């Protein structure tokens, strides 16, 4: 590979270069992953078991009740399937990278990434890629399709487009929140706890938002807006008779806030960053 001399400032790099860098990263990590096939299959199994567990939980609940909030069983399955899609795509593209950020800080390897002539957030967010999670997200699509069939809904083209757009925004929310937490590792060296901790918060996203009330609902729909991540897109599909805009605009506003906020936080943190072990 021949590289032209690196431009001095990140801003000098044309957009096309980002795509090319990203493509190379994807290819490399796919090659690397295929070297560990057992591991790849293992992770697929883990994700699958986890997802089956969620469905079993719903099955158990709905063997005792008919509705949760005003959500029926198959609407809840649709919600969980939607969350599976978003969470797995998030895991495929960002999770590995963000969860390694604390390690990069601790070992001082972050220095190397910061020296690269690309945007620093881009550099730490997209180094690797988990192909297994992408496969797992297909399970989510299948489950969403099946619950639509059970609900007797045939979504229109516009609805699907809205749904996918809302899923993308949800992905942005998950990414930014975890990025913000990982950024905290610049102060709290061992931030792994934070990252695992976020998985607890993730759980909130899997349930109908109507169930939650008061301050709890406010916090998780505005400050840490995980509650919207899967609920908004799932509603768009399951409840075509509702006006889609309030939910969508809320999600859009929350995404902009959290994406912008965590980016500012990252630059603020970098100014405080004093390299380790050098």
CB of 116 to another protein, least distance (A): 28
Residue 49 is a binding residue for another protein (CB under 8 A)? yes
Given candidates 32, 164, 190, 268, which one binds another protein under the rule CB under 8 A?
A: 190
Q: Please, which residues have CB within 8 angstroms of residue 269's CB and are 6 or more apart in sequence?
A: 183, 184, 186, 187
Instruction: Name residues contacting another protein, limited to 209-228 (CB under 8 A).
Output: 210-213, 216
With CB under 8 A as the contact rule, which of the stretches 27-35, 41-49, 103-111, 255-263 interacts with another protein?
41-49
Tell me how crowded residue 68 is: count the other CB atoms within 10 A of its CB: 17
CB of 86 to another protein, least distance (A): 18
Range list of H helices, 63-213: 73-90, 96-107, 110-115, 120-125, 131-151, 157-183, 192-202
Site string for another protein, 69-88 (x = CB under 8 A): x-------------------
Rounded CA-CA distance 140/81 in Å is 4
Q: Provide the terminal-to-terminal Cα distance of the chain, rounded to the nearest Å.
A: 30
Compare residues 66 and 274 and give the one whose CB is closer to another protein. 66
CB of 48 to another protein, least distance (A): 9
Whether the Cβ atoms of residue 215 and residue 206 lie closer than 8 Å to each other = no
Residue 66 is a binding residue for another protein (CB under 8 A)? yes
Given candidates 64, 243, 271, 272, which one binds another protein under the rule CB under 8 A?
A: 64
Residue 35 is a binding residue for another protein (CB under 8 A)? no
Given candidates 123, 198, 235, 251, which one binds another protein under the rule CB under 8 A?
A: 198
Whether the Cβ atoms of residue 120 and residue 113 lie closer than 8 Å to each other = yes
| Closest residue by Cα to residue 273 from 104, 128, 117, 116 | 104
Given candidates 68, 165, 257, 270, which one binds another protein under the rule CB under 8 A?
A: 68
| Length of the chain, in residues | 278
Alpha-carbon torsion (42, 35, 111, 278), positive or negative: positive
> Which spans of this chain sit near another protein (rule: CB under 8 A)?
36, 38-39, 42-43, 45-46, 49-50, 53, 56-57, 60-61, 63-69, 188-194, 196-198, 200-201, 203-204, 207-208, 210-213, 216
């Amino acid at each position: 590979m021949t590289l032209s001399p690196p431009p001095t400032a990140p801003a000098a790099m044309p957009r096309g270069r980002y795509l090319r860098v990203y493509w190379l990263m994807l290819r490399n990590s796919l090659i690397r992953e295929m070297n560990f096939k057992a591991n790849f299959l293992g992770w697929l199994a883990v994700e699958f078991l986890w997802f089956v567990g969620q469905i079993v939980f719903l099955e158990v609940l709905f063997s005792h009740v008919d509705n949760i909030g005003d959500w029926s069983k198959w609407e809840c399955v649709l919600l969980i399937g939607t969350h599976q899609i978003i969470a797995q795509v998030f895991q495929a593209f960002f999770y590995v990278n963000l969860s390694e950020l604390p390690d990069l800080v601790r070992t001082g390897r972050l220095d190397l990434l910061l020296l690269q002539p690309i945007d620093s957030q881009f550099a730490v967010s997209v180094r690797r890629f988990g192909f297994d999670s992408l496969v797992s997200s297909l399970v989510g699509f299948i489950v969403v399709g099946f619950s639509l069939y059970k609900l007797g809904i045939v979504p229109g083209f516009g609805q699907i487009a809205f749904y996918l757009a809302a899923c993308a925004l949800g992905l942005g929310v998950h990414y930014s929140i975890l990025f913000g937490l990982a950024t905290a590792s610049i102060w709290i060296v061992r931030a792994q706890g934070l990252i695992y901790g976020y998985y607890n918060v993730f759980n909130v996203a899997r349930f109908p938002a109507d169930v939650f009330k008061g301050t709890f609902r406010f916090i998780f729909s505005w400050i840490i807006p995980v509650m919207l991540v899967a609920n908004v897109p799932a509603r768009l599909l399951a409840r075509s008779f509702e006006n889609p805009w309030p939910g969508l605009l809320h999600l859009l506003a929350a995404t902009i806030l959290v994406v912008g906020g965590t980016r500012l936080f990252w630059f603020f943190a970098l100014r405080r960053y004093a390299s380790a072990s050098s």
